[in-house]
Amino acid sequence: MAATERLTLAVRGMHCAACVGKVEGALRRVPGVENATVNLATERATVGFDAGRADVGALQSAVAAAGYELVEPPAPGVDTSEAEQAERDREQRRARLRFIAGAVLSAPLLLGGMADVFPWAPALLRDPWVQLVLATPVQFWVGGPFHRGFLRDLRHRSASMSTLVSLGTNAAYFFSLAVTLWPHAFRSVGAMPYYETSAVVITLVVLGRWLETRARGRTSEAIRRLVGLAPRTARVVRNGRDVDVATDAVLAGDLIRIRPGERIPVDGVIVEGASSVDESMLTGESLPVEKHVESPVVAGTVNGTGSFVFRGTRVGRDTTLARITRLVEEAQGSRAPIQRLADRVAAVFVPVVLVLAALTFAGWLAFGPEPRLLTALTTTVAVLVIACPCAMGLATPTAIMVATGKGAEHGILVKSAAALEVLHRVDTIVFDKTGTLTVGHAELTDVVVVGPGTEDDALALAAAAEQGSEHPLGEAIVRRAKERGLALPPVAEFTSVPGQGIDALAPDGRVLLGNRTLMDMRGIDVIAVEDRVAKLQAEGKTVVYLAFAGQMLALLAAADVMKPEAPAVVQRLKRLGLEGVMLTGDNRRTAEAIARQAGIERVIAEVLPEDKAGEIERLAIAGHRVAMVGDGVNDAPALARAEVGIAMGSGTDVAIEAADVTLMRGDLHGVVAAVDLSRKTIRVIKQNLIWAFGYNVVLIPVAAGLLYPVWGVLLSPMLAGAAMAFSSVSVVTNSLRLKRWRPDNEEESHGG
Amino acid sequence: MAVDPVCKMTVEPAKAAAQSQYKGESYYFCAVGCKQKFDREPDKYLAGGGSPMSGH
C-alpha cells in the first residue's frame, strides 16, 4: 500500500478566487497527487499525495510555474505559526503603506479633478502636469501588484481581479496621459484628463486589500491560540540535571520536570510526584483532574499546586494538542461544495466581464454620444473595475473560518468545512447509547432491602464482598458505599464464582452476591422478590441478589444512567425539527428504558457493532439526512458513514478520527450547538454570496451605461471602485458577525 | 450445628455454602456439589442416616 502523505502548506501570491482554481489545478496535475484543495482566506493548500511518487519540491515547482509560491513545509509547532504571522504582519504593513500613499496622493487629484464639486480648489491642482506627477506613483507603485498580477495572468492565459483593475486603471491613466501630451487634439473634442479616476480606484482597491489582510489576520487567531497553549521550552532532566530545552526538541522518553503553575509541554505519563491539572482548555472540564504516578498528562494543560516529573510519550506533531490543531487547520483548509460553486462562478466571471467590457466599448463607440471615444473609454473602465470577484472568493472561507474558530472556542471541533455545511440540513440525529446518551459506566440506582437491617447495612455488606472486584457492577457498589462513608464489615474467604457472583464469609454468616443462578445453586429462596426483580429489569437495570446467612437480604440494582441533560437535548433538537434515534447493541428492554427517559421514540436495539453503519445507511435510503453521535470504536464506521459524524471528546481516538465533528466536552448540548452553528454559518455564507453576486450583477449593466439612454445615468469608475472595496469589506464583516455566536445553553462559563 | 447429609461434615447453618428444602425441612451443605447430589436423590441420603436439622 502506498503511503499517502497529507500536508498543509502556505501559498503566497493569491489574490482572487480565480487564483484558487489555478493553484489547485497545478497541484492536481503533479503525478502522484491524489487531491488538493486551496483556501484563499487562509492562504493554504492542503495536498494529499503518494510520498513515493511526488515530493514537496515537485509541488513547489508546479505552483511556481503557475505563477505562485508554495512555501516550504512547516517545521512543527510554534515557529511556523510565528513566521507566518510575521509574514502576515509585513504584508499588512505594506498594504497599509500603499493605502496611505495612495490616499495622500489621490486627495489633491480628487480636488483638482472635480473642480465642479470643489470650486475652492487651488488652480495649481487643475494643471494636468501636476496631476500627472501625483498620479504616476499611484498608478505604478501603489498599483504595482495589480499590474504584476495582470502580466502573470497574461503569461498563463488566465484572468483574475488584477486583470480587471490593471486594465481599467491603465486605460484611464494612459488616456489622461495622451490628453496631457496632446491637449489640442483631445481638448477639441472636449476630452479631460482622468488621473483622479485611476488613482482613486487603485487607492480604494488597496484599502479593500488592507482591510482584508486585517480580517484574515484576525480570523486565523483560533489556530494561533491553540498552538500558543504549549510552552516554548521544557525543563528536561538529563544526567540528573535540569536543562531547558525547546519544546520541539523534546524527545519521546525524556523526563520532564513540571513546577507549580506551569504549562505541560508534551504528552506523557507521570513517573514521580503528584498534582492536580487543569485540563479545561482541552476538554472544557472545569474541575482540575487529580494526577499521580502513571497518570497521563497532556500538552497545553496547566499544572496546579504540586510538582511532578513525567516521561514524554507523544512529542512534536504527535501531541494531542498538535493533533487538535491539525483538525482545526484541516477544517479551515478544506472546502465545501457551496464554496466550489462560488469559485467556479468567479473563474467564469472574468472572461465574461472582459467580453462585456469589449461590447460596452464597441457599443458606445458605435452608438454613443460625442465624444464617443471618451465615453466609451469611461464606461469600459467602469465595467472592468466593477467586476472584481474578490468578495465572492471570500464569501465562504471567511464564514467557515470564523465559525470553526468560534466552535473550537466552545469545545466543538469541526474537522471539515463540508461537515459544517451539511450539518444544517440533517433531519435525523442518531445517538449511540452507552457513553453518549449515558454516562458510560454503571451507577448503583436501587437498594431494596427485603431482610433485616437497613439499606446501609446491606450496602456495606455487599461492598465488603465486592472489595477488589473489577466487575463494573462491583465497582459501582463499592463507590457508593465509599460515598456514604460506610464502615465495611470484615469478610474473608472470597470466592469468585465465574458467571454467578461472589461467595464470601462474614463473621456471622455467609454472604452471597450475584445473579439468579448463584441463588438457585445455593438454594436461596427468591420467590418473595421476583416481582421486584421483574420491575427493576423492566427499567433497564441490572439486578444482583444479596443473600446473607441463607436468607435473601437485599436486591441491588445498577444501570448505566442517562446523562442528565439528555432529555433537554432531545427536546431542543425536536424544536429544531430534528428527530432523535437511539442505536445500540444492547438488548431492547434496556435500550427502551433509557430511550423513554430521554424522550426518544425510535430505538434500534440489539445491533451488532459491524451492522451499525448498515443501520445508518438504511435510514439514509429511507430518505433521512443522518448525523451520528457516538464515542466508541464500534461507532466509528457509523460515524464515517453518516453525512456528519459527531464524536464525543471523551470517546476513543478512533471515533474522533472517523467523525467530522468532535465535542470536546462530554456534554450533549454540544450537538444542538453544532447544528445551530452550522445553520448560522450557512445563513452568513448565503448572505455573503448575495452581497458579492448581487453587487456584480446589478452594477455591471449600470457601469456599462445601459441606464444612460433612459435616465442619463452612468456609473463613474470611482464609485465603482468604492462599491467594490466595500463589497469585499461587507462580506468579511458579515462573516465576522459569527464571532458573536455563542451556544444557547451554555451552562458554565469559561475557565470556571 | 447441622450436618451435611451428603458428606456428613458439620456445617454452621448461617455459613453453609448451600441449603435445600425437602418435605418442610431445611438441609445445609458444605459445598454446592453436596447440594446437587442431595437434590437429585434426597431420599437416598436421608435414608442413609444423619439427622436433619430443623429449619429456622
Cα–Cα distance, A490 to A216 (Å, whole number): 68
Q: pTM for the complete prediction?
A: 0.57
Please tell me what DSSP assigns to residue A510: E
Task: Please state the ipTM of this predicted complex.
Answer: 0.82
pLDDT exceeds cutoff 90 at A449: yes
**Closest CA in chain B for residue A511:** B15
pLDDT at A422: 83
Q: What is the mean pLDDT of residues A302-330?
A: 79
Cβ separation B16–A510 shorter than 8 A: yes
pLDDT at A386: 67
**Local confidence band at A329 (pLDDT 50, 70, 90 cut-offs):** low
Kindly tell me the sign of the dihedral angle through the C-alpha atoms of A79, A80, A83, A84.
Answer: negative
Q: CB contact, 8 Å: B17 with chain A?
A: yes
What are the chain A neighbours of B28 within 8 Å (beta carbons)? 550
pLDDT exceeds cutoff 90 at A712: no
pLDDT exceeds cutoff 70 at A276: yes
Cα–Cα distance, A622 to A99 (Å, whole number): 57
Q: A346 or A319: whose pLDDT is higher?
A: A319
Residues 6+ apart with CB under 8 A from A585: A605, A606, A607, A608, A609, A612, A634
Cα–Cα distance, A1 to B27 (Å, whole number): 69
Please tell me what DSSP assigns to residue A300: T
pLDDT at A390: 53
Distance from CA of B36 to the nearest CA of A (A): 8
Cα–Cα distance, A501 to A503 (Å, whole number): 7
**Local confidence band at A186 (pLDDT 50, 70, 90 cut-offs):** low
Contact, A304 vs A352, CB < 8 A? Answer: no
pLDDT at A327: 58
pLDDT exceeds cutoff 50 at A531: yes
Cα–Cα distance, A32 to A52 (Å, whole number): 8
Cβ separation B19–A523 shorter than 8 A: yes
Contact, A327 vs A662, CB < 8 A? Answer: yes
pLDDT at A215: 44
A479, A485, A489, A494 alpha-carbon torsion, rounded to 10°: 10
pLDDT at A9: 79
pLDDT exceeds cutoff 60 at A502: yes
Mean pLDDT of chain A: 79
H/E stretch holding A547 reads strand A542-548
Q: What is the mean pLDDT of residues A538-548?
A: 86
Among B6, B12, B15, most A C-beta atoms within 10 A, so best to mutate, is B15
Instruction: Report which residue type is found at A445.
Output: T
Q: What is the mean pLDDT of residues A170-187?
A: 78
Cβ separation B17–A503 shorter than 8 A: yes
pLDDT exceeds cutoff 50 at B30: yes
Cβ separation B15–A510 shorter than 8 A: yes
What are the chain B neighbours of A503 within 8 Å (beta carbons)? 17
Among the ranges given (A22-31, A494-503, B29-38, B46-55), the one the predictor scored with the smallest mean pLDDT? B46-55
pLDDT exceeds cutoff 90 at A547: yes
pLDDT at A190: 52
Cα–Cα distance, A722 to A713 (Å, whole number): 17
What are φ and ψ of residue A238, in 5° steps?
-130, 130
Residues of A annotated as part of the active site:
432
Q: Tens digits of per-residue pLDDT, A571-595?
A: 999 999 999 999 987 778 778 888 9
pLDDT at A73: 59
Q: Tens digits of per-residue pLDDT, A399-443?
A: 887 888 888 888 888 877 678 878 988 999 999 887 788 887 778
Residues 6+ apart with CB under 8 A from A681: A399, A400, A403, A420, A421, A424, A738
What are the chain A neighbours of B21 within 8 Å (beta carbons)? 523, 525
Identify any residues that bridge with A504 across adjacent strands, giving them in sequence order. Answer: A511
Contact, A393 vs A16, CB < 8 A? Answer: yes
Q: What is the mean pLDDT of residues A3-20?
A: 74
**Local confidence band at A750 (pLDDT 50, 70, 90 cut-offs):** very low
Residue A213, C-alpha cell as written in the block: 489582510
Contact, A580 vs A600, CB < 8 A? Answer: yes
Residue A509, C-alpha cell as written in the block: 454468616
What are the chain B neighbours of A505 within 8 Å (beta carbons)? 15
Count CB-CB contacts under 10 A for residue A621: 8
Q: What is the mean pLDDT of residues A694-722?
A: 71
pLDDT exceeds cutoff 50 at A477: yes
Please tell me what DSSP assigns to residue A268: E
pLDDT at A77: 43
Cα–Cα distance, A444 to A480 (Å, whole number): 7
Q: What is the mean pLDDT of residues A553-558?
A: 92
Alpha helices in A296-426 (DSSP H): 320-333, 337-367, 372-386, 390-409, 417-422
pLDDT at A285: 47
Cell 450547538 -> residue: A673
Residues 6+ apart with CB under 8 A from A140: A147
Q: Tens digits of per-residue pLDDT, A593-645?
A: 889 989 999 999 888 766 777 888 889 888 898 999 987 666 777 777 788 88
What are the chain A neighbours of B15 within 8 Å (beta carbons)? 505, 509-510, 549
**Short-list A375, A733, A506, CA closest to B14:** A506
Distance from CA of B53 to the nearest CA of A (A): 14
List all residues of chain A from 586 to 645 with a beta carbon under 8 Å from chain B: none
Distance from CA of B6 to the nearest CA of A (A): 15
**Local confidence band at A394 (pLDDT 50, 70, 90 cut-offs):** low
pLDDT exceeds cutoff 90 at A649: no
Among B4, B6, B11, B19, most A C-beta atoms within 10 A, so best to mutate, is B19
Among the ranges given (A446-450, A510-514, A698-702, B33-37), the one the predictor scored with the smallest mean pLDDT? A698-702
**Closest CA in chain A for residue B20:** A523
Indicate the residue of A510, A523, A525 with minimum beta-carbon distance to B35. Answer: A523
Cα–Cα distance, A147 to A170 (Å, whole number): 9
The Cβ-side half-sphere exposure at A95, using a 13 Å CA radius, reads 22
Q: CB contact, 8 Å: A232 with chain B?
A: no
Among A497, A517, A521, most B C-beta atoms within 10 A, so best to mutate, is A521
pLDDT at A430: 94
Q: A155 or A288: whose pLDDT is higher?
A: A155
Distance from CA of A516 to the nearest CA of B (A): 14
pLDDT exceeds cutoff 50 at A751: no
List all residues of chain A from 421 to 440 with a beta carbon under 8 Å from chain B: none
Indicate the residue of B14, B26, B32 with minimum beta-carbon distance to A522. Answer: B32
pLDDT exceeds cutoff 70 at B9: yes
pLDDT at A214: 56
Q: Tens digits of per-residue pLDDT, A115-170?
A: 666 777 787 887 888 889 999 999 899 888 888 877 876 776 666 667 767 877 88
> Cα dist. A406→A264, A414, A629 in Å?
24, 10, 21
**Local confidence band at A680 (pLDDT 50, 70, 90 cut-offs):** very high
> Cα dist. A5→A280, A334, A423 in Å?
32, 16, 28
Among the ranges given (A190-204, A551-565, A661-675, A705-719), the one the predictor scored with the smallest mean pLDDT? A705-719
